[in-house]
Amino acid sequence: MINIALFGAPGAGKGTQSKMLVEKYDLTYVSTGDALRKEIADKTPLGLRIKDIMDAGQLVSDEIVVEMIEKIIAGNTRKGVLFDGFPRNVAQAETLDKLLAKYNTSLLCMISLDVPREELVRRMLERAKISGRSDDNEETIKNRLREYENKTLPVADYYKGKGLYIPVIGFGNIDDISRNIMKEIDAKIINN
């Protein structure tokens, strides 16, 4: 199975690159951010509970996202799963390992899209003009980057320790970035 976690700060381009990877490797795509935004848009009980947390740029509780992820892994009928925006902290990373093992599979690698901070802020403010996302404003962007630096960056060390961490430069030409990511994934598949 080709299970891949796409890692990177908010604004790193995970959504854009995901689309190409899902197609190329025939993967089930899950973005926890998209799934949570849908709950809010549909005004479900869960959506009402998490709206303020997301608007503040904080992470929602692990139980909520883990439940979503297990459903995706259990229902996957493609060659693997591409995780976008998950795991966001070390506890989620440990849970992902256990979940994948429960379904007799494992993570192939974690691709980290590396983009300088100023570029991230610039992209998110640019996206704010068209996304309509209530968390794409300057104050919340700062909080999201802080959450990322405090809670999500340690996930990179977690995967480095397991030999699964692959950094890729995430700025420049979008197709070049995709090609670099695919080269790394292909090498992992061959060596697996």
* Least CB distance to ligand AMP at residue 83 (A): 9
d(CA 168, CA 182) in angstroms, rounded, equals 10
For residues 126 and 186, which CB has a smaller minimum distance to ligand AMP in the complex? 126
Site string for ligand AMP, 82-121 (x = CB under 6 A): ---xx-x---x-----------------------------
For residues 27 and 96, which CB has a smaller minimum distance to ligand AMP in the complex? 96
36 interacts with ligand AMP by CB under 6 A: yes
Q: Is the peptide bond before 154 cis (omega within 30 degrees of 0)?
A: no
Torsion of CA 78, 168, 88, 110, to 10 degrees: 40
The residues that touch ligand AMP, with contacts defined as CB under 6 A, are: 10, 32-33, 36, 53-54, 57-60, 65, 85-86, 88, 92, 135, 144
